[in-house]
């Protein structure tokens, strides 16, 4: 496991908080570390896909993935599929209103294990242990610029990047997540 000093020496971009419950520290265009803990609450529901295929290796803790599909519409559903870029004040296109979202399966990965996801797989992650660290390797080039997210229309929309933390706070959270206590 890397130490805080070793991470800082990698000279990645500044770490930043994502409202999916993650502090992200990008080392290169295709490699990043994700830090999850009780100091990184999830402010958005989190069912989403990515613009790239990726492999994630668990460096600490246990992470759960829930995989979903959209199977047409259900007039009683309050969920909708939107496509767009995830940035503050971005506009997204509604692809499926009243979406029938079905959870296909769930899997857990623990320290030392990896998993891969394709860019068009809808998923949500949950931490099973108090602290989780992953290394994400993104396949380049990106497969798509705009990704899908599932939102609940009964909830006020929140952008995952709308409540940033300072770089100093992010480093403190990274150090806390690295700590074995």
Q: What pLDDT score does 88 carry? A: 63
Q: What pLDDT score does 175 carry? A: 96
Q: What pLDDT score does 87 carry? A: 66
Q: Fill in the DSSP letter of residue 173.
A: H
The residues of the chain scoring below 70 in pLDDT are 43, 45, 87-89
List pLDDT tens digits, range 107-159. Answer: 999 999 999 999 999 999 999 999 999 999 999 877 777 889 999 999 887 77
pTM: 0.91
Q: What pLDDT score does 45 carry? A: 67
Say which CATH architecture domain 4-178 belongs to.
Sandwich (2.60)
For residues 166 and 113, what is the distance between their CA atoms, to the nearest angstrom?
31
For residues 89 and 153, what is the distance between their CA atoms, to the nearest angstrom?
17
Q: Return the domain boundaries, the chain.
A: 4-178
Q: What pLDDT score does 141 carry? A: 77
């Amino acid at each position: 496991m890397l130490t805080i000093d070793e991470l800082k020496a990698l000279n990645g971009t500044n770490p930043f908080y994502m409202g999916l419950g993650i502090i992200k520290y990008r080392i290169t265009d295709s490699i990043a570390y994700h830090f999850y803990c009780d100091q990184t609450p999830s402010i958005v529901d989190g069912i989403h896909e990515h613009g790239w295929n990726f492999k994630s290796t668990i460096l600490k803790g246990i992470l759960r993935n829930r995989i979903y599909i959209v199977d047409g519409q259900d007039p009683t559903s309050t969920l909708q599929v939107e496509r767009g870029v995830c940035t503050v004040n971005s506009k997204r296109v509604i692809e499926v209103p009243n979406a029938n979202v079905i959870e296909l399966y769930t899997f857990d990965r623990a320290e030392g294990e990896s998993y891969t996801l394709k860019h068009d797989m809808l998923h949500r992650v949950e931490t099973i242990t108090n602290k989780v660290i992953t290394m994400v390797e993104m396949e380049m080039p990106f497969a798509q610029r705009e990704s899908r997210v599932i939102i609940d229309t009964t909830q006020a929309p929140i952008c995952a990047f709308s409540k940033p933390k300072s770089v100093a706070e992010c480093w403190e959270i990274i150090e806390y997540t690295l700590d074995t206590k």
